[in-house]
Amino acid sequence: MRGEAHQAAVRLEGVSITYRFPDGRRYPAVAPTDLAIAPGEFVALVGPTGCGKSTLLNVVAGLVTPTTGRVLVDGTPLLGINTRAGYLFQQEALFPWKTALANVAVGLEVKGVPRAQAQERARQWLARVGLAGFADRFPHELSGGQKKRVGLAQVLAREPAILLMDEPFGPLDAQTRAIMGDLLLELWSAEKKAVLFVTHDLEEAIALADRVLIMSAGPEARIIGDHPVPIPRPRDTHEVRLTSTFVEIHRTLWHQLRSEVLKGYARSEGKEEPVS
C-alpha cells in the first residue's frame, strides 16, 4: 500500500519550499520531502499549526511551486494546476452569487459538460451529500455543515482521481465534524480516490486514514513519522475511537506529535503564524 510497487497516484520527490521575503530574508518552510500516495489510499498529514502541511498540500494541488524537487501525478511531472485533483478548502470557497446547484454544476460546465446534463449530475451529487432539498439555496442561506457538503459535492462531482483536503472540517462543531467524517468515508469508499487529508486533529486523522504521516514543527519541517492504521473498514468514525487498536495508535502517535507541538509553540512564541 505504500505505492512503491505500482504507479503512485501522487509522488513527491525531494520537494522543499523556501519563502523569500522582499527584504531578502529566507524562510525554509519545508525540508526536502519524499512522499507517495497509492491510488485509492487515504493518507492523513498531521502536524503542529504552521508547520507547512497546508503548503505541501498546495504543492500537490499545483497552487504553489516547490523551490526544489518535483511532483509526479500518475507518473507525469506536474506543471501548473493539478487538473486530476479536487481540493476542499478549510475556508469557505463556494461562489456566494451561485445557488448550491449552480455551485456544483459550474465545475462540470467548465469541463464542457452540457448545461442540462451538468445540472442533472449536480442534483444527484447534492442528493448524495444529503442536500436534495437545498438546490436553490444561496451559500448564505446554508449552515456551516451544509456549505461543507455543497463544497464536497462541488469537488467530487468533477470525479477527481485525487482528493486534497485542507482541514476541511476545522471550522465545524464537534458533532457536525463527526457526521461529515462518516459522510466523507462513505463517499470515498464508493469511489476510492487517493486522498491527502491535512489536519491538526490526530483523532480525526486516525479515524479516517489508512496511513497517518506526522510532520515536524517548522522551519525545515519534515515528515518524521509514517504509521499505517490497521483498523478494518467500513469504519464508524465515532465508534472506532473506542477500539483498543485506535487507543494504542493514538498513544504512539500522540507521543511523537506532542514534542513537535511543544517545539512549534516555543518557536512561534510572540511571532505571527506563517501564512499557510
Q: In the bound complex, what is the minimum distance in angstroms from residue 206's beta carbon to other proteins?
A: 27
Which backbone phi and psi does 214 adopt, to 5 degrees? -105, 130
Alpha helix locations (H) across 157-243?
A: 174-191, 202-208
Q: In angstroms, what is the minimal distance from the CB of 216 to other proteins?
A: 26
**Closer by beta carbon to other proteins, 16 or else 82:** 82
* 132 sits near other proteins (criterion: CB under 8 A): no
- Least distance from C-beta 195 to other proteins, angstroms? 15
User: Which residue type does 31 have?
Assistant: A
Q: Under the criterion CB under 8 A, does residue 263 sit at the interface with other proteins? A: no
Out of 19, 27, 134, 138, the only residue in the binding site for other proteins (CB under 8 A) is 138
User: What stretches of the chain adopt beta strand conformation (E)?
Assistant: 10-20, 26-37, 42-46, 68-73, 76-77, 85-88, 162-166, 194-199, 211-215, 223-228
Q: Does 140 bind other proteins (CB under 8 A)?
A: yes
Check binding of 134 to other proteins (CB under 8 A). Answer: no
Q: Is 231 in the site for other proteins (CB under 8 A)?
A: no
Q: How far is the CB of 140 from other proteins (least distance, A)?
A: 4
Figure out which of the listed residues 44, 60, 61, 161 binds other proteins, where binding follows CB under 8 A. Answer: 61
Segment near other proteins (CB under 8 A); pick from 138-146, 180-188, 240-248, 260-268 = 138-146
Task: Work out how close the CB of 168 gets to other proteins at its nearest, in angstroms, rounded to a whole number.
Answer: 12
CB neighbours of residue 22 within 10 Å: 5
Contact 142, 150 (CB under 8 A): yes
Between 90 and 176, name the residue whose CB sits nearer to other proteins.
Answer: 90
Query: CB count, 10 Å around CB of 90?
Result: 16
Rounded to whole angstroms, the Cα distance separating 163 from 42 reads 9
With contacts defined by CB under 8 A, how many residues of the chain interact with other proteins? 27
Contact, 15 vs 33, CB < 8 A?
Answer: yes
DSSP 221: B
Q: Select 106 or 172, whichever has its Cβ closest to other proteins.
A: 106
Q: Determine the number of helices (DSSP H) and then strands (DSSP E) in the chain.
A: 7, 10
Residue 168 interacts with other proteins (CB under 8 A)?
A: no
22 lies in the site for other proteins, by CB under 8 A = no
Give the long-range contacts of residues 184-187, CB within 8 A, separation 24 or more: 184/152, 184/208, 185/233, 185/234, 185/235, 185/237, 186/234, 187/128, 187/129, 187/152, 187/156
The residue whose grid cell reads 515528515 is 223
Pick 116 or 275: Cβ nearer other proteins: 275
Residues in contact with other proteins, shown as a per-residue x/- string from 83 to 122 under the rule CB under 8 A = x-xxx-x-xxxxxxxxx------xx--xx-----------
Closest CB to other proteins among residues 29, 113: 113
> Which residue ranges make up the site for other proteins (CB under 8 A)?
61, 63, 81-83, 85-87, 89, 91-99, 106-107, 110-111, 138-140, 154, 158
